[in-house]
């Protein structure tokens, strides 16, 4: 079967698949024209609304959506296997190991969402028992799906011909399956919901916890009758909509990546310090293989941070300075752990587990 060149595939994509079925107004979602990304804004608002309904509603939606997504990924992998050309695997890493690590640092945002589950531990039933298993199993399953999917993609199409804006859609177009390409394109838009739900859940719960603990104004930690922090949910959702609607997705993703990687470095270092300085403090979760695991986490996260562009580092430093300014001017003085804080002695109220 003749393999279509990338320019021919791109021309077909403009007249079929997602472009044809969803209309001109959504072209901004994939970077073709437009100043404001309207679909991205709409998705952020929808995700905020789902989260505002409470963790039970979020959990039901996420369960159905993820199950549908996994089934479709397995279908794509199973069908794509029959169109693999093993010659496309030679050379397997044509540019060496360096670009592999740079790519890992860029797409890191697709993986770190699994740790966001830990931010909802207070709202889960028997989180001590189920939370570690849920995170580990999710990572293992996702890793296997990621590896299988990328092997199918690079086997179906030479790496030089892969469309960076719609890899799988262009690959199936290239083998004469435009209907499957359209399904993949629609699915790609829908699957964003599950990823964003997890990310925004983590942001709102961390924000809520910091406000509850005095590091941010207590106004942010107010909840509704179901225990859902509505204020931070909608503030984070609207802020995400503005960022997604105006700024290039790669710049936003890289800034997110370096921020999360830096947080991982700090958390891993804190685990080591806390274990040795306060070994007798009661712990809900215990980390095995101390200090090897956190030390490796620090090195791995730091190494990935070094793969990012200097402009990303500059933006990160600016945000870091802003964060430190908030901490030293407000958070440190009002922390519940500060004996001189006006909020010292307040009782921490945990969110309801049945919201």
For residue 255, what are the domain limits? 247-336
Say what percent of the chain tops pLDDT 70: 80
Domains: count for the chain: 2
Whether residue 160 sits in one domain with residue 304: no
Whether residue 251 sits in one domain with residue 226: no
Whether residue 272 sits in one domain with residue 181: no
- The 3-state DSSP class for residue 120 equals helix
Would you state the pLDDT for residue 120?
Answer: 62
Q: Quick one: average pLDDT of 174-182?
A: 83
Burial class of residue 301, CB neighbours in 10 A (0-12, 13-18, 19+): buried
**What are the tens digits of pLDDT across the range 41-65?**
888 888 889 888 887 777 788 788 8
- Cα separation, 88 vs 85, whole angstroms: 6
Q: How many CA atoms lie less than 13 Å away from 346 in the CB half-sphere? A: 18
Whether residue 104 sits in one domain with residue 34: yes
pLDDT band at 6 (very low <50, low <70, confident <90, very high): very low
pLDDT band at 340 (very low <50, low <70, confident <90, very high): confident
* 61 contacts 201 by C-beta, under 8 angstroms: no
Across the chain, mean pLDDT equals 78
CATH of the domain at 23: 1.20.1740.10
Residue 351 is assigned to a structural domain of this protein: no
166, 171, 173, 178 alpha-carbon torsion, rounded to 10°: -80
Q: Where do the H-state alpha helices sit in the chain?
A: 6-13, 17-22, 38-52, 55-80, 98-106, 127-156, 167-174, 178-212, 230-246, 249-277, 292-306, 310-326, 332-334
* 265 contacts 295 by C-beta, under 8 angstroms: no
List the structure tokens of 293: 């695991």
The set of residues, in sequence order, having a beta carbon less than 8 Å from that of 353 and lying 6+ positions away, is 122, 123, 124, 125
**Any idea which residue has 């990687």 for tokens?**
261
């Amino acid at each position: 079967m003749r393999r279509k060149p990338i320019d021919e595939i791109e021309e077909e994509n403009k007249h079929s698949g997602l472009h044809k079925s969803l209309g001109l107004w959504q072209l901004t979602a994939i970077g073709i024209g437009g100043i404001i990304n309207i679909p991205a804004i709409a998705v952020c608002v929808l995700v905020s609304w789902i989260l505002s309904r409470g963790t039970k509603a979020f959990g039901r939606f996420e369960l159905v959506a993820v199950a549908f997504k996994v089934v479709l990924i397995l279908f794509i992998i199973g069908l794509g296997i029959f169109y693999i050309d093993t010659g496309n695997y030679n050379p397997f890493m044509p540019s060496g190991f360096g670009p592999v690590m740079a790519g890992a640092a860029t797409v890191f945002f697709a993986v770190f969402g699994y740790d966001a589950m830990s931010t909802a531990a207070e709202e889960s039933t028997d989180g001590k028992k189920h939370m570690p298993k849920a995170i580990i199993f999710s990572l293992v399953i996702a890793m296997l799906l990621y590896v299988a999917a990328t092997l199918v993609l690079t086997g179906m199409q030479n790496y030089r011909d892969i469309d960076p804006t719609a890899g799988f859609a262009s690959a199936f177009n290239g083998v004469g399956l435009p209907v499957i390409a359209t399904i993949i394109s629609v699915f790609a838009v829908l699957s964003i919901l599950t990823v964003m739900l997890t990310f925004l859940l983590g942001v709102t719960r961390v924000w809520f916890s910091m406000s509850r603990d005095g590091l941010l104004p207590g106004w942010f930690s107010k909840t509704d009758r179901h225990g859902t922090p509505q204020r931070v949910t909608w503030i984070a959702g609207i802020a995400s909509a503005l960022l997604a609607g105006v700024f290039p997705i790669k710049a936003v993703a890289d800034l997110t990546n370096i921020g999360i990687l830096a947080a991982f470095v700090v958390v891993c270092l804190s685990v080591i310090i806390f274990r040795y300085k306060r070994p007798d403090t009661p712990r809900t979760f215990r980390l095995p293989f101390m200090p090897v695991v956190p030390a490796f986490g620090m090195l791995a996260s730091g190494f990935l941070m070094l793969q990012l562009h200097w402009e990303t580092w500059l933006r990160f430093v600016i945000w870091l300075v802003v964060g430190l300014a908030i901490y030293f001017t407000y958070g440190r003085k009002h922390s519940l752990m500060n004996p001189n804080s006006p909020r010292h002695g307040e009782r921490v109220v945990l969110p309801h587990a049945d919201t």
